Structure 1
Amino acid sequence: MSIRTQDAPPRLNPAKFQHPEVTLKGERRAQVALTALDTLWVNTGTLCNITCANCYIESSPRNDALVYITPAEVAAYLDEAEGMGVREVGFTGGEPFMNPGLVPMLDDVLSRGLHALVLTNAMQPMRRYAEPLRALLARHGGARLVVRVSLDHHDAAVHDIERGAGSYARTMEGLEWMAREGFTIHVAGRVGFGHDGEAAMRAGYAAVFARHGIPVDATDPVALMLFPEMDAGRDVPEITEACWGILGKSPDSLMCASSRMVVKRRGAERPAVLACTLLAYDARFELGATLEEAARPVALNHPHCATFCVLGGASCSR
């Protein structure tokens, strides 16, 4: 197995992804309209219990650029989102379980009959809430609550390159605990961590899941999501209106056609709504203070739009 051994990719021309309406070549830039609000994402804050080697949002034990959002603030957005037909609420970070209000937020979501998705590393912050999580599961069952655990590679040594020595073992302990408690578990890995091919990656995960009693189907692309590596400095093509026909894709298939994310910036009086979970710091993707204000088209004016969504075909939602 080779790990990140490819030659360094070409670097991005800084003149790309600048104008909201046209590309560097003068072609009309693709835009995506919000067709339905299926998923509301909530960033619980950028603080995390670990510092990864390549975190798209630069989470760490010291990064509080996005501060803890409160249950009351989230409830106001849930009220608005319910009127727009939302079906799922996703919680991401940072590490969501660093936010002391996460379990009450989950309880609110599930009490409304909505689905909830939590992205976590399943380490100590989650385990601190063992009893409240058991109570949550007892009240609502496990069908509408999915916990997606970041396990970057099925090999411990490779995973620990990204997340630090011993992190694989601590995450596996969390996975085993959730399996014993009856939670619905999904796993997220990274395809950039090996070049053996997707089939081999899934086979490696399947062996780990079987060995540890983790009820995840490694052949299911939702239960085991393998995300493309994100490098905003890598040269990628700008997405034009013509690309939809060339690639045989519909703009409706992209995350920004069916989701929005709420964040609270350090020092801000109130949260803001962004177009995308991946672009928390780019002001061009901040769309307003309410979901109604944010229900406008999004210009695909960032390298992640091409790498992750259009060409990578990835989605953070189920």
Structure 2
Amino acid sequence: MTLSPRRGRSAIATVPEVTLSPFLDPAKRPLDPEKFGDPFVTAKGEARAHVALDRLETLWINTGTLCNLACKSCYIESSPTNDALVYLTLAEVDAYLDEAERMRCREIGFTGGEPFMNRDMVPMMRSALERGFEVLVLTNAMRPMRRFEAELIELNREYGKRLTMRVSLDHPDKAIHEAERGPGTWDKAIDGLKWLSERGFRLAVAGRLLPGQSEAAERAGYARLFELLGIRVESGLVLFPEMDASADVPEITEACWGILGVSPSAMMCASSRMVVKRKGAVRSVVVACTLLPYDDQFVMGETLAQATGEVRLNHPHCARFCVLGGASCTG
């Protein structure tokens, strides 16, 4: 099902309004207020780019926006008090896993918030692993994760080849990391990273590519850190572009694919969807993108079957993160 904002903001009547993230606040949208106003044409009247779902490779499960941290530039504004997206339960997730199996989905990704704030996190991981999915968990590797040490060790013993833990480490420099995540967060994150490594978990690390810093230099910094720590980041280092919501970005037109030499099939929304449950909602919904859980125009339906329609790239994040940034949450 494809939602058309021309006929109303959403076709899902059970989705309640939520407090807008600053990334959706009109005062913090692109500098040109005419941009990103129509899902079909740009401010210049050109045909807006759209992306079809080629195949469902990754189903993201947002376990809730609550987090033990309140990072300065968190695109979803996770914090110890933000429950705009509430905890999903094992029963709710199992229904989507049933659908994902039928659609031959390869991977289940768990994100938040901090996923391990959700009491059903480990049972949800087990359910996905038992069904044969690859599982990717995004975590800050701090106290919420460490509450489940015994259960995680057992999961890794049984399914380690299909389980990847991606730890957020904003920069290889402690001061820069803590400027984003707060005092005292570095040592706890490093301790969690080492705990995972020492117990043989398949590891990935997610960082930020800061403006003005070369990717080569930053990757070299992480490599030195990993060598110093004696850890092997088997599944690689993912560097995400900085998400500056106040920076103006161009709208993406149909012609841009050829101009930029980029394929629509390379976009996240060509191969992934995310399940969220908004505070006050009766049911969870499927949204087009991990970056846009609050914007009603990207709600695709209540089931995966309803969420197979095309996505209009009518948001600054589509340009900033995906098309021009070349990034993907799957790495």
What's 2:131 paired with?
112
Q: What is the CA–CA distance in structure 2 between the aligned matches of 1:188 and 1:292, rounded to whole Å? A: 31
* Runs (5+) with no aligned partner, structure 2: 1-28
Aligned CA distance change for structure 1 residues 49 and 297 (closer, same or farther; 3 Å): same
The whole-number CA distance in structure 2 between the counterparts of 1:89 and 1:173 is 26
Q: Secondary structure at the match of 1:143?
A: helix
| Helix, strand or coil at the partner of 1:234 | coil
Match of 1:233 in 2: 246
Aligned ranges 1:1-318 → 2 under 5 Å: 12-140=31-159, 142-192=160-210, 195-216=212-233, 223-318=236-331
Tell me how many residue pairs correspond in the alignment. Answer: 303
Q: Deviations over 1:130-178 (max 9, x none)?
A: 01101111222x1110011110000000000000001111100000000
1:253 and 1:139 map into 2 onto residues whose CA distance is 33
> What SS does the aligned partner of 1:24 have?
coil
SS of the residue corresponding to residue 161 of structure 2 reads coil
CA shift digits 1:20-74 (9 cap, x unpaired): 1000000000000001001000000000001111110000000000000001100
| Cα separation, 1, equivalents of 2:179 and 2:55 | 39
- In 2, Cα distance between the equivalents of 1:14 and 1:46? 29
Asked if 1 retains the 8 angstrom alpha-carbon contact of 2:30 and 2:245, the reply is: no
- Per-residue CA deviation, residues 84-143 of structure 1 (Å, 9 max, x unaligned), is 110000000000000010100110111011100000111000011101101111222x11
CA–CA distance in structure 1, aligned partners of residues 300 and 118 of structure 2: 24
- Secondary structure of 2:244's counterpart equals coil
Q: Which amino acid aligns with 2:227?
A: A
Q: How many angstroms apart in 1 are the aligned matches of 2:297 and 2:257?
A: 22
Quick one: distance in 1 between partners of 2:94 and 2:327? 28
CA RMSD of aligned residues (A): 1.2
The offset of 1:11, in angstroms, is: 5.3
4+ residue runs of structure 1 moved beyond 6 angstroms?
none
Instruction: State the Cα distance separating 1:195 from its structure 2 match.
Output: 2.7
TM-score (norm. length: structure 2): 0.90
**TM-score, length basis structure 1:** 0.93
- The whole-number CA distance in structure 1 between the counterparts of 2:124 and 2:114 is 15
Shift of 1:81: 1.1
% identical aligned pairs: 62
Other structure's SS at 2:307 match: coil
Give the deviation of 1:14 after TM superposition.
1.8
